[in-house]
Amino acid sequence: MKDERVLLAHGSGGLLSQNLVEEVFKKHLSNPHLDDLLDGAVLQLPAKNIAVSTDSFVITPLFFPGGDIGKLAVCGTVNDLVACGARPLYLSAAFIIEEGFPITELRSIVASMAETARLAGVKVVTGDTKVVEKGNADQIYINTTGIGVLESKFILHPLRVQPGDQIIITGPIGDHGLAILAQRQGLAFSTPAVSDCAALNRINSLTDMFPGQIKCMRDPTRGGLATVLNEIAAQSQRGMVVQEKQIPISPVVRGACDMLGMDPLYMANEGKMVIITGPEKAGQIVCQLRLLKETAGAEVIGEVVSEHPGMVLLETELGAKRILGALEGEHVPRIC
């Protein structure tokens, strides 16, 4: 393709559109469903419960240490399906592109989506591209919708959460939030932190391996671990007590957060899962998680309790308990 930048005509549905689909999207994402180029994909699914999830991805910068918007767009929806207890199978992908966006960058984003989808065992079966005038969007936005199938008859839901259940986080928190923050203008520091962006499809085998044990899962993206725990506590109307010293946080993240006055408990993650599980097999589940690279840092961090329904308490390293609230407003660097 000679054009180096995306033109409005690329979204017009004409020859240039076809060209873009052939040269960029089909080239990387090719599979029989997509290659048909029909208005939609017709899929055959097992006669089981089906999970559907959708998410839109808007991120600056588009490329960051540990990932890019394409990888994120696949992992985000895959992880949401996993959190429903589903095995992710198919994705749709819709792109809103700002006129003038470099096609080389679009290629790398789509290639990254393809590679991530391959590793996660999902196929991109249908898609859409729109181009908007320069200034009407910030470079590129991606929406993905995913379909997954539930292998287990146990539905994951906060209402299944019981006192005594254990709270697991699948690894150290805050790295994604920090890696992104370090790229922002106005914050001149460099960090070795790398986004944890990863597809967690492999952990859905746990629902089979430990039938009925896993009650609820949620990925702590925006708002971080603290916000997700509050959501589960509120929806289940159970209390939670989390042990501060059990929460895995790397020294790099801790140091940068100290400097910026931010709290790792509220920093975004893109490759972590909070898992609420029955007490009996919690240890074994953690052992299984630690066998996988993407969840090697799994830890039990707390317990569900019958007291203070809807509220999360953090037991501090000093042994005091304090309320751990959900994120309020924007989580920005502070000086005091």
Partner 1 sequence: MCLGVPGKIISRNDNSAVADINGNQVKVSVALTPEAEVGKYVLIHAGFAMQIIDEHIARETMNYVLELQRLGEAYEN
Partner 2 sequence: MKTDPDYKNRLLEAICNTIKPAALMEVCGTHTMAIARTGIRDLLPPHITLLSGPGCPVCVTSQGDIDTVISLVLNHNITLLTFGDMMRVPGSECSLQEARSQGADVRVVYSPLDALQMAQNNPGREMVFLGIGFETTAPAVAHTIIEAQKLKVTNFSVLSLHKLVPPALETLFADKEIKVDGLICPGHVSMIIGLKPYQQLAAKFHQPCVVTGFEAVDILESICMLLQQIGKGQARIENQYKRVVRPQGNPIALKLLEQVFEPVEARWRGLGAIPGSGLAVRDRYANYDAVRRYGLIATEDRSVKGCSCGSILTGKISPPQCALFGRACTPLNPVGPCMVSQEGACAAYYRYAPMKG
Cβ atoms of residues 150 and 85 within 8 Å:
yes
CA pair distance 97, 99, nearest whole angstrom: 6
3-class DSSP assignment, residue 137: coil
Q: Which of partner 1, partner 2, none does residue 14 bind to, with CB < 5 to 8 Å depending on kind?
A: none
Interface with partner 1 in residues 317-336 (CB under 8 A): 334-336
State how far the Cα of 109 lies from the Cα of 34, in Å rounded to an integer: 18
**In this chain, which stretch among 29-37, 82-90, 108-116, 322-330 interacts with partner 2, using CB under 8 A?**
322-330
- Asked if 171 and 272 touch (Cβ cutoff 8 Å), the reply is yes
- How far is residue 330's CA from residue 327's CA, in Å, rounded to a whole number? 8
30 counts as binding partner 2 under rule CB under 8 A? no
For 10, the token pair is 């690329």
The yes or no reply on residue 185 touching partner 1 (CB under 8 A) is: no
Q: Shortest approach of partner 1 to residue 33 CB, angstroms?
A: 45
Assign 156 to helix, strand or coil. coil
Other beta carbons within 10 angstroms of residue 260's beta carbon come to 18
Number of chain positions touching partner 1 (CB under 8 A): 18
Per the CB < 8 A criterion, the answer to whether 91 and 156 are in contact is no
Hey, what are 263's tokens?
């709290």
Residue 135 is a binding residue for partner 2 (CB under 8 A)? no
Q: Tokens for 321, please give them.
A: 């308990």
Contacting residue, 192, 211, 212, 283, with partner 1 by CB under 8 A: 192
Q: Which residues 232-251 are close enough to bind partner 1 by CB under 8 A?
A: 251
Q: Which does 42 bind (CB under 5 to 8 A by kind): partner 2, partner 1, none?
A: none
- For the chain, what is the largest distance between any 2 Cα atoms, rounded to a whole number of angstroms? 67
Q: Does 194 bind partner 1 (CB under 8 A)?
A: no
Phi, psi of 296 (to 5 degrees): -65, -25
Structure tokens at 124: 């991109």
| SS3 of residue 318 by DSSP | coil
Report the residue from 52, 252, 292, 327 that binds partner 1 according to the rule CB under 8 A.
252
Q: Which does 321 bind (CB under 5 to 8 A by kind): partner 1, partner 2, none?
A: partner 2
Give the total of residues touching partner 2 (CB under 8 A).
Answer: 27
H helix or E strand, kind and range, residue 165: none
Does residue 189 touch partner 2 according to CB under 8 A?
yes
Q: Which among partner 2, partner 1, none contacts residue 254 (Cβ within 5 to 8 A by kind)?
A: partner 1
Rule CB under 8 A: say whether 193 interacts with partner 1: yes
d(CA 257, CA 251): 10
**The only residue of 32, 135, 251, 319 in contact with partner 2, by rule CB under 8 A:** 319
Q: Work out whether strand 214-218 and strand 140-150 pair parallel, antiparallel, or are unpaired.
A: unpaired
Interface residue with partner 2, options 4, 185, 190, 293 (CB under 8 A): 185
In the DSSP assignment, the letter for residue 173 is -
Contact window for partner 1 (CB under 8 A) among 25-33, 136-144, 149-157, 182-190: 182-190
Q: Is 335 an interacting residue with respect to partner 2 (CB under 8 A)? A: yes
Q: Looking only at residues 261 through 280 of this chain, which bind partner 1 when binding is defined by CB under 8 A? A: 261
> Which parts of 255-284 interact with partner 2 (CB under 8 A)?
260-261
Residue 255 site contact among partner 2, partner 1, none (CB < 5 to 8 Å, cut-off depends on kind): partner 1
Q: What angle do CA 167, 170, 171 make, to 5 degrees?
A: 120
Would you count residue 254 as binding partner 1 (CB under 8 A)? yes
Q: How many CB atoms lie within 10 A of CB 30?
A: 13
Residue 333 sits in the site that holds partner 2 (CB under 8 A)? yes
Q: How far is CA 296 from CA 52, 92, 167, 248, 318, in A?
A: 27, 30, 16, 11, 27
Q: Summarize as ranges the residues that interact with partner 2 (CB under 8 A).
A: 185-189, 260-261, 308, 311, 314, 316-323, 325, 328-330, 332-336
The residue ranges that bind partner 1 (CB under 8 A) are 182, 188-193, 251-252, 254-256, 258-259, 261, 334-336
